[in-house]
Amino acid sequence: MITSAHNARIQQVRRLNGRPKERRQENAFVVEGVRLAEEAFQAGWPFRFCLYDQGLSDRGKTLVQKLLAKGIACEETTPALLQKVSETENTQGLLAVVETASLPVPADLSFALVFDSIRDPGNLGTLLRTAAAAGAQAVLLPPETTDAFAPKVLRAGMGAHFHLPILALDWADIQAGLKGLNVFLADMAGSITCWQADFRSPLALIIGGEADGASEPARRLAQRLISIPMPGKAESLNAAMAGAVLMFEVVRQRQPQLIP
């Protein structure tokens, strides 16, 4: 049993839960809680190790047994120590360190997303979860956007990270990756509404940040600005809500048989 805060694995969890630089250097991140760890395991994600405590649920114990059967190191630690390295108020008795991997982007890409200058972790995680639900094929993140593998983003993403290609790229690579797609940018000054735009052809949607909207590189890349009709008195939607409206408008246009 691990009882010391100076244990190498405890120290690694602390580092990975800290700055994005540490996650990039170690090519790993922390998954906390039974549900997220199950999502990672079921998706075949590469685990390095897991830590758990005596309060782990039966469901969590079953997962530990599955990890051990795959040859993945699982070590018990004290509840107090696990809580100390946890990013949540109340731990679920389990966390795991997994490798940073990226699912392949389909060769016939037809529905991509660019989340530009999204700095709020909760908003980014919610956008990723929505993207996975809407059937997006890839998410491209420019340098101005927060780290997709930060603890709060992972929790808000609810497992989307393990089912969706997520790539952090510079703008030159984003432009190259979107070649051949119609690129729409959500903007209050959009010349057409999202109901008028044609989302049936291969496309990329750019969702700008909460405070200042899309960056200049995003505006240069966009071929058309689109708006969301808002007849009420609110000036804008937050990034996660705007993204959800636009993503499911793509779904509506491409799968009209799903609409009553």
Q: What are 129-157's pLDDT values in tens digits?
A: 999 999 999 999 999 999 999 999 999 99
Residues 151 and 130 in one domain: yes
Provide the residue range defining the domain that includes 82. 8-99
Higher pLDDT, 259 or 134: 134
The residue from 67, 99, 131 where one domain ends is: 99
The residue from 99, 124, 156 where one domain ends is: 99
Q: Residue 240 above 80 pLDDT?
A: yes
Task: Report if residue 2 sits inside a domain.
Answer: no
Strands (E), the chain: 28-32, 47-52, 73-76, 94-99, 111-115, 138-141, 166-168, 182-186, 192-193, 203-207, 224-227
Tokens standing for residue 107 = 């060769």
Alpha-carbon distance of 246 to 251, in angstroms, equals 9
Q: Which residue type, as a one-letter code, is found at position 191?
A: S
The residue from 54, 70, 99 where one domain ends is: 99
| Structure confidence at residue 257 (pLDDT) | 64
Task: Report if residue 106 sits inside a domain.
Answer: no
Whether the full predicted model's pTM is greater than 0.85, yes or no, is: yes
User: 89, exposed or middle or buried, with CB in 10 Å at 0-12, 13-18, 19+?
Assistant: exposed
Q: What are phi and psi of 138, to 5 degrees?
A: -165, 145
> Which residue's structure tokens are 């639900």?
133
**Structural domain total, the chain:** 2
Residues 126 and 244 in one domain: yes
